[in-house]
């Protein structure tokens, strides 16, 4: 048995829903763990000294950063278990900009590496979010995702608070006005124009 009984119990235990975050992408709710969370969990389960990773490949393909990492975990018996996986990071482009800024490119590179690390770690089980890919798994939440997502935007509609986009995590922009056919609107729009649908705060009724 490569891992200890205590490690196996931690790896196989149901995930704590308090660790799970959500965002919407192309009309679907995605459940995920944050990068710092899985790193802290790896330190707790394997030990600070017993795991590491290296970026073995980093390329930009069709405007998207693709990172490959090699993860190595040392068991209590001294055996090394390796996992390799890939991740992607998409540079955000502001509405009035023709291309992504250096900061946006850096964020996308970091996102690609973190994505690859999370994908590699999840092969070790529930502790790293593997169960989040089970569509039939219970979520432990009582409210509908769409309502949860919209509520925060409604609460701060007049507070000038920048929310992250549910799809790409870039800032959302609050805009109000009137459509061409005379219908008033008020909604949050993604500043990066990633394809996220507007989050409407007021019904668009014909005047």
38 Cβ neighbours under 8 A, 6+ residues apart:
117, 118, 121, 128, 129
Q: Are residues 94 and 22 in the same domain?
A: yes
Segment (H or E) for 44: helix 35-46
Candidates 121, 5, 13; CA nearest to 70 is 121
Q: Are residues 83 and 174 in the same domain?
A: no
Beta-carbon count within 10 A of 1 CB: 9
CATH of the domain at 56: 3.30.390.80
150 φ, ψ (degrees, to nearest 5): -75, -30
Structural domain includes residue 139: no
Predicted pLDDT at 163: 63
Predicted pLDDT at 181: 65
Structural domain includes residue 205: no
Do 143 and 152 contact (CB within 8 A), yes or no?
no
Structural domain includes residue 137: no
Predicted pLDDT at 57: 95
Segment (H or E) for 118: helix 102-121
Q: Is this structure's pTM higher than 0.75? A: no
Both tokens assigned to 29? 């709710």
Both tokens assigned to 7? 């490690």
Predicted pLDDT at 97: 64
Query: In this predicted model, what pLDDT tens digit does every residue of 81-104 receive, in sequence order?
Result: 999 999 998 888 776 667 778 888
Q: Are residues 150 and 126 in the same domain?
A: no
Residues of the chain with pLDDT under 70: 1, 25-27, 95-97, 133-163, 166-169, 178-183, 185, 194-195, 200-207
Q: Please state the domain count of the chain.
A: 2
Between strands 21-25 and 28-32, the pairing is antiparallel
């Amino acid at each position: 048995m490569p891992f200890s009984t205590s490690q196996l119990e931690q790896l196989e235990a149901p995930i704590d829903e308090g660790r799970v975050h959500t965002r919407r992408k192309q009309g679907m709710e995605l459940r995920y763990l944050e990068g710092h969370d899985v790193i802290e969990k790896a330190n707790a389960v394997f030990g600070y000294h017993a795991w590491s990773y290296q970026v073995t490949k980093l390329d930009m393909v069709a405007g998207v950063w693709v990172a490959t990492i090699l993860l190595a975990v040392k068991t209590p018996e001294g055996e090394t278990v390796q996992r390799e996986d890939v991740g992607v990071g998409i540079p955000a482009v502001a509405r009035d900009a023709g291309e992504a800024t250096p900061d946006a490119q850096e964020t996308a590179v970091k996102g690609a590496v973190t994505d690859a690390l999370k994908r590699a770690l999840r092969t070790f089980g529930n502790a790293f979010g593997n169960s989040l890919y089970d569509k039939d798994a219970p979520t432990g939440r009582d409210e509908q995702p769409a309502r949860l997502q919209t509520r925060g935007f409604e609460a701060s509609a007049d507070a000038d608070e920048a929310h992250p986009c549910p799809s790409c995590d870039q800032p959302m922009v609050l805009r109000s006005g009137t459509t061409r056919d005379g219908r008033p609107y008020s909604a949050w729009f993604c500043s990066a124009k990633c394809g996220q649908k507007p989050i409407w705060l007021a019904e668009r009724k014909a005047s």
